Every structure is written in C-alpha cells, then in structure tokens.
Chains A and B, each alone.
Chain A
Amino acid sequence: MVDILFYVFAAVAIGSALGVVMGRTPVGSLLFMVATLASLAGVYVLLEAHFIAAVQIIVYAGAIMVLFLFVIMLLNLGHEYRRDLQGGVAAVLSFIVVGVLAGLLSRQFRGEGALDVISAPGGQAIDAALIEHGAVGAIGQSLFTDYVVPFEITGVLLLVAIVGALVLAKRRVP
C-alpha cells in the first residue's frame, strides 16, 4: 500500500517537474511547481517526516510559491508570446550535460540495496521519538538542544533577508 502511494506521488512529482521546465507561461510553471511540492510533501509523510511535510506545505507551497506568484503578477509577465526556452545548440549541449549528470548519479544506485530497509537504526530512533514527543517534539528536541546556535543564526538570517529584500525592491525616490 505504502509502495503504491509512493509511486503515485513520485510519478506526479516527476511529471510536474517536467511541467515546470516545459511550462508555456510563468504561472503555469508555477502551478506545476506547487503540484510538485505537494506530492513531495506526501512522500515526506510516507517517510514518517510529518513535521517536515507540514512545513513544506505551509512554508514552501504556501508562502514561497505565493511570493513567486506575487512577483510574476507584479512584473506583469506572461504576455511575451515567444517561448523562453533556449533552442538549438544550447539545448542539445544542456541535454548532454544533464544526461552525464544523471549517469553519474545513477552509478551510485547499483550494487546491493543497503538502502532497501524501511527501518534502520536512525529510523527506529525517529519512530521512538515520534511516539514519545509527537511529530513536532521529535524535531524540537534536537533543534533546541543540539542545534540551537544555528537556529538563532537562522533567525538573524531571516531578519537580514527581510531588510535586504525591502531595500533592494524599494522604488527609488526620484
């Protein structure tokens, strides 16, 4: 059951990803992206990463994609009739490059499937933490004890990003 669901989600993800790349309009690409993100969230759930799945939907699909949408609407894109895909030599070269990349990556998946277990030491620890603290608590335990410094710094980073975005996008006073 889980496997079937996984493959469904995977198929949707891949199809939507191709749609992102091949999309004719910017909004179309964006919507395909949302679909990809949603299916990825589903995969996360299947992998017992519930908190991450939720955050994916809320932050990624809900906030970042909306931000993209706002920008697209702000810039009034989508009226150019010319496809903005590169054609010709560049496309062929890019295809070859990614093919090589795919080949390289796929090499790693030969051999015996040490990854074919659903339950490994790490996974069991996660399951235990899930039962004990709940989905949020499982991450929270680690986040606020071992990784509290990066957490705080991430806060500063977000502040910087806010200020930066404001300054950069501000209309110059004539």
Chain B
Amino acid sequence: MHATLSVLLTQGGGHEAGGGGAFEPFFPGLVILLPLLGFVINGVLALQHARASANAVRAGGELELDGPRGRPSTHTLPSFVGPGVILLAFLLVLVNFTRMLGVELHEPVVVHYWTWMATSTFSVGAALQLDGLSMVMAMVVTGVSFLIHVFSVGYMKADPGYPRYFAYLNLFVFFMLLLVLGSSYALMFVGWEGVGLCSYLLIGFWFSDREKADAGKKAFIVNRIGDFGFLVAMFMLFVTFGTLDFAAIAHDAPGKLIYGGGLVTAITLFFFLGATGKSAQIPLYIWLPDAMAGPTPVSALIHAATMVTAGVYLVARSSVLFALSPVGSATVATVGVLTALLAATIALKQNDIKKVLAYSTVSQLGYMFVGVGVGAYAAGIFHLMTHAFFKALLFLGSGAVIHAMHEALHHTHSHADAQDMRNMGGLKRFMPITWVVMWIATLAIAGIWPFAGFFSKDEIIWQIAAFGGAEHAPFPGLYTLIWVLALVTAMLTAFYMTRLMVMTFHGTNRTGSHEAQHLHEVPPVMWVPLAVLAVLSVFGGWVNVPVALQESFLGGMGALPMSDWLHHFLEPVTATAHEIQVANLGEVSHHAPLGGGEVAWALISTILALGIVLASARVVGGWKVKPAAEDAAPTGFAKVLYNKWYVDEIYDAVVVQPLLRVSRFCWKIVDAGIIDGTVNGVGYLARGFGWLGSLFQTGTVNTYAFILTLGVLVILGAVIF
C-alpha cells in the first residue's frame, strides 16, 4: 500500500509516446483519489451523525443542534470537504489539460500504477489513460460537479442526511472519473458499475418514502440489464484481442476485425445495449423519469451532465469498433433519433417541471447517440459538453424554483405539489436571476444562435446529412429519415421548453396569494453556480465552430472569437475510425438531402427554432392554466402522451409479471416443495429409523431374555463353525 501511495503521489510514471513535445501528466492518480478521500471523510461524518441521532432517539429526545447556525455539528465540515475535493480535482485536471494543449498527442499517454489482475493469459492494469477525449470528459465532469456541489450546499442545507449526501456525491465523482480516465474496458466497467451504484444510492436518498426507494431500485435493475450487454461485449473483445486495453484494441482492431463482419457487429450491438441502459435510450430509458425522485442537484449531476453520458463516452471511446460496423453504427443512430422523438413527444404533456427536463435529457441523449452513430464522434462529444452546461443549468434552476416553492408552501402548510408547473406562474417577479439564467439555458437547448446548443445540435444534424449522403454510404434512405426526424425533434424541443418557461415564470401566479408572499430568490450560494453555467451556456459552443460557419455571417465573418479547436483536440482519438470511414464510405456529402449546404441549413434551423420559441410563447401565454388541484385529466391523444405511451405498463405486463410468475413457481414448487421436501424427508427418515429402533425397548424381561439367548446362539454358532 505504501508503494502504491508513493507511486500515486509522484508525477505520473508510465510510458509516453507523445510527438512534438512531451506531455508530462501531473498527478493524475490524485484526481481520482481526492473525491474518494472526500467520500471517506463525509462518510465518517455521516456515520457519526447517524449514531448521534440514534442515541438521541433512544434517550427519548431530539438530536442536539450544537453546530453553527443551528445545525448538527457533523454538518459543517461536509460543506467544505464536499465541494473542496472536487475543486482540487478540477484544478489538477486543468493543469493536465493545459499541459496537453501545447502538445500534439498522437498516442494516448497511459500512466500505469500497478497490475490489478494477472493470469497467464489475461492481465488488467490499474492504469489511467490521458488523451484528448478523457481530458475533455474529466474537465466537464469535475467542473460541472464542482458547481453542483456548491449549489447543493445551499439546496440540501436543512436535510438531516447532509453529510451522507456529500459522501455519496463524492463517491459518484470518484467512480465517474475512473470511468472516463480508465485505460481499459475493465476499469471503465468498474466505474460503470460504481456510478450505477451511486445513482441508486442517490435516487433513493430519501429512502423512507417507499416510492423514492422503488425509483432507486428501478434504476439499478434496469441498468443491470444494460450491464449484461457490456459484459458480453467485453468477453467477446477479450476472446478476439486477448486484452481489454483501449490502446491495444484500437491499434489491433482494423487488422483483426472485418469491416461489417458479424463479430464486430455483435460486439458493437452488445456495447450499445449497455449504453441504452446507462444512457437511457430505447428500450431501457424507463428509469430516468422515475429517477427524478432524488434531490434535484442529483438529477442535475447524474442524470443530465455526467452519468448518463457514459454511454456516449463508451461509443466514442470504441469509435474504431463502431466505424468497422455499419450495422452497429446505424443501429445506434436509429435508436438515438427514435428515442429523441419519443421523449420529446412525452415531454409535451408533462406537468412536473422535473419530468419535462428528464424527458428532455433522454431526448438530447438521443441526439448525442445520433452524432456518434453517424460517425461524427467529435460532434457527439461536443453536444455532450454543451448539454452538460445547459441541462445542469436547467435542472439547478428548476431546483431553485422548487426550493422557493417548497419554502412558500411550507409557510402555509399547503399540500400542493411544489414541482407541478400548474401551481407556478409569474415567478419572474420573485426570482429574476433564476428567470434570466433559465431563459439562457432554454435558448441554448432550443438551438438558437449564438448560444451553445445551436452549434452542437447543428453540427450533429449537419453530420447526419454529410455521412448519410457520402459516396458509398450504407442505408442512405435511413439516414435521410434520421435527418428529418432530428429536425422535427429540434422543433419539438423548442416548443416544450418554451412551454416550460412560460408556465413557470410568466403569466399570473397560481401558487396562491398567501403563499406568494413568501416566494423569493435563492441565496447566492445557489445562484452563483447558475450564473457560471449560464456564461458557459452562452460561450461554451464557441470552441467547436466549423470553419465554414466561422467565416459566414453566423461567425461574425471571423470577427467573433470562435474556433474549431475541439475537433482538432479530439482528432488523435478518432483518427483510426476516421481513416476507416474515409476508406469505406468515400467522401462525405456537402449537401443536405433537401439541398443546401452547411451554412444554409444552420441559418434555416436557427431561424425556425427562434420562430417556434416566439410563437409558442404567444400560444402558451394565451392558455388558461389552472392550478393542479383544479385541473382536469387529459383525454384522447394527450392522455397517451401524458401516460408516457404506456411503456411502463407494457413492460410490466410483458416482462415483469411473467418473471414474477416464474419466480413464484421456483419458490413454491421447486424451493419449498422439492428441495425443502427432500431435506425434511431425510429428517423424517432418520426419525423413522429411530422409531424402528425403539420397538426393541419393550421393557419386559422376556424380550431381553430372548435377545440374550439369540446372542448366545450367535456366539455359539461362531465358535462351532
């Protein structure tokens, strides 16, 4: 252990093969260890708090609030340790990132610490891989995490489980960093499972409520189905390559796998199954809307910015494999766009503000998968990054709204739902900062120039056209359809987000006159992170603007500080995949299916989006929305959308009930009947033998004399014969 610590605390050892200057990693092991340390410290505090509470209850009293500001003493340190370790981790990543900026990395840098598993045929090392992709992901994860941690300090202030919350959150960041920085599929899987675990712990954070605990269970179980896919793919990879290291596989894949062959298609499909579980795509997206039962910052971090993007990262990391399998990639793109469309339709009719955002997340994840499915890995990661910014902002903003609504409703002891948009309205008067930043995020997600979402979403839509229309593109008709559906979904996105904003912040206030007196803006510890995210949502997209757009009107004719730096930064990672694409697909198209070039369609989409936003604002503003208690239930097609296309009910009937029946059979008949019966039967048999033996004990002298004589006969016989 000492040796390990000393290795981890030194500047990264291990081999580097960078060209054009050397990239020296700066304590990469600490990046991962710091959140783990935070988990340990917060965990100890949580246990102390639990013990103190239990003792207080046993003594018949209440827990002493002997810390500052009227809170228990165990609740002061997590406020600093929780965000603090993440800030330190972010700074370390930043140093590494800046070091990498100046260097042209052709090969990833692998920092090897120790060998985790080693058999004669297989070995996995505890090693971290530092290249463009992992750096970008690490920056996003640590940066957004830090902001969300700071927000949580304010949001979870009054919660009794405060240290436990930060412990779980830090543990989650640890696993997520392991996921994105790991150098092999095995390490990635450790992180994969770990974030699933933390997701369960955090969704079911208020586990005394049965529904919330069930939501946590649902997330974990559905994730597990995906994990099966991941595992099978890993097994197949091991059989083919003999190793699970990213570098080795990326290097050997073009040689060992046939383009479009059955093996590589199977591998990619199984990996995608895992991704659908973790990243909430069809058919395993059902857990994400239920996951809104957890605290809102959790929804922001895990289910918007980081965990759910693990699937996209997986596909991007396995870019070589997906490039070798057109069927696999097409599946990814198709499922992605279908999910995007389905989720957008459901979001149209939801009334819970978090549910709308949840389905919006599912929809945007679909976009990311479309991006990496058509082969535009950089575009997919770019959208991942911008989505992290504005979706985290949206969730945190909704958290601020819910926080304010809770306080207001608490004052009058009303039982109205604080998350139902029908109970809100006109909040812009009370929460101006939140109103402004959320509008920024909405414009970003709707894809309006010059906000971040415009560039990323647009890039993806354009790449669908580019790759789908390539010279030898497989399934060109399919890609045209995907392109159309992506555009339609973008329009829907603009509409439902505007609906959310108008119902929440505009119009007349429906909370009630008594409650409205207590509505106010959230404290700075909560709105400062929102502001930071808002800035990122505005300018975050300016790091990956294609040259064509830069020079056009949309780029200010080159006057604005935009660049396509991200694309170049990720190039080494996707280079092999790109080569395969160029070799097999030929040249990409420069025209969309309906005609027109990149700039033209960028202009069209942003104008359309802006138009829809303005129109929806008008239309929704004209609706007479009633508070939730008085509102009528939806009917007709609206009812289908409101009930999420009854997918959960279908799953229940087709999958869950038969499984329960089989389990009941196994329990009642196989386990209790056959197995227990056999074991009990042996017991009865033993008793039976005992009963037989007892027949000899009659107690009468004659019997004993008889037996005695028999014995004598036996001995006599033995002697004589």
Residues of A within 8 A of B (CB): 86, 90, 93-94, 97-98, 100-101, 104, 107-108
Contacts and interface: CB of A to CB of B under 8 A. Distances in A.
A107 B716 CA distance: 11
A104 B713 contact: yes
B717 A93 contact: no
Contacts of B710: 97
B571 to A, nearest CB: 102
Contacts of B697: none
B689 interface: no
Contact of B702 (A86, A100, A104, A108): A86
A108 B716 CA distance: 11
Closest 6 CB pairs of A and B: A104-B716, A97-B709, A100-B713, A101-B713, A104-B720, A107-B720
A101 B709 contact: yes
B706 A94 contact: yes
A107 B706 CA distance: 22
A107 B587 CA distance: 114
B713 A97 contact: yes
Nearest to A94: B706
A102 B720 CA distance: 13
19 contacts: A90-B702, A93-B706, A94-B706, A97-B706, A97-B709, A97-B710, A97-B713, A98-B709, A100-B713, A101-B709, A101-B712, A101-B713, A101-B716, A104-B713, A104-B716, A104-B717, A104-B720, A107-B720, A108-B720
Nearest to A104: B716
Contacts, number: 21
B702 to A, nearest CB: 6
A94 B710 CA distance: 10
Contacts of B720: 104, 107-108
Interface in B698-712: 702, 706, 709-710, 712
B399 to A, nearest CB: 92
A98 B709 CA distance: 9
Contacts of B716: 101, 104
B696 to A, nearest CB: 14
Interface in B325-341: none
Contacts of A108: 720
Contacts of B706: 90, 93-94, 97
A100 B716 CA distance: 11
Contacts of B717: 104
A100 B712 CA distance: 11
Interface in B669-721: 702, 706, 709-710, 712-713, 716-717, 720
A52 to B, nearest CB: 26
A103 to B, nearest CB: 10
A76 B227 CA distance: 94
Given A101-B713, A104-B720, 17 more contacts: A86-B702, A90-B702, A90-B706, A93-B706, A94-B706, A97-B706, A97-B710, A97-B713, A100-B713, A101-B709, A101-B712, A101-B716, A104-B713, A104-B716, A104-B717, A107-B720, A108-B720
A90 B709 CA distance: 13
Interface in B129-172: none
Nearest to B705: A94
Contacts of B702: 86, 90
Nearest to B710: A97
A107 B712 CA distance: 16
A86 B709 CA distance: 16
Nearest to A100: B713
A110 to B, nearest CB: 12
A154 B710 CA distance: 31
Interface in B63-77: none
B77 to A, nearest CB: 86
Contacts of A86: 702
Contacts of A90: 702, 706
A130 B706 CA distance: 43
A86 B702 CA distance: 9
A101 B713 CA distance: 6
Interface in B271-289: none
A56 B702 CA distance: 29
Contacts of A107: 720
A60 B717 CA distance: 32
B547 to A, nearest CB: 113
Specify which of A104, A107, A108 lies most central, judged by the most chain B CB atoms within 10 Å of its CB: A104
Contacts of A94: 706
B53 to A, nearest CB: 73
B719 to A, nearest CB: 9
A69 B317 CA distance: 112
A88 B54 CA distance: 76
A55 B710 CA distance: 33
Nearest to B709: A97
B717 to A, nearest CB: 6
Contacts of B713: 97, 100-101, 104
A106 to B, nearest CB: 11
A97 B703 CA distance: 13
Nearest to B712: A101
A104 to B, nearest CB: 5
Contacts of A100: 713
A90 B702 CA distance: 9
A72 B716 CA distance: 35
Interface string B598-633: 000000000000000000000000000000000000
B253 to A, nearest CB: 88
A21 to B, nearest CB: 14
A98 B716 CA distance: 13
A101 B706 CA distance: 12
A93 B713 CA distance: 14
A100 B706 CA distance: 13
A119 B710 CA distance: 37
A172 to B, nearest CB: 24
B701 to A, nearest CB: 11
Contacts of A97: 706, 709-710, 713
Interface in B354-403: none
B705 to A, nearest CB: 9
A51 to B, nearest CB: 31
A97 B714 CA distance: 11
A150 B139 CA distance: 109
A88 B371 CA distance: 99
Contacts of B712: 101
Contacts of B709: 97-98, 101
Contacts of A93: 706
Nearest to A98: B709
A107 B709 CA distance: 18
A101 B709 CA distance: 9
A86 B700 CA distance: 12
A99 to B, nearest CB: 10
A93 B712 CA distance: 15
A94 B713 CA distance: 12
A122 B710 CA distance: 35
Interface string B111-143: 000000000000000000000000000000000
A158 B536 CA distance: 119
B143 to A, nearest CB: 97
A107 B719 CA distance: 12
A100 B714 CA distance: 10
A129 to B, nearest CB: 33
A101 B715 CA distance: 11
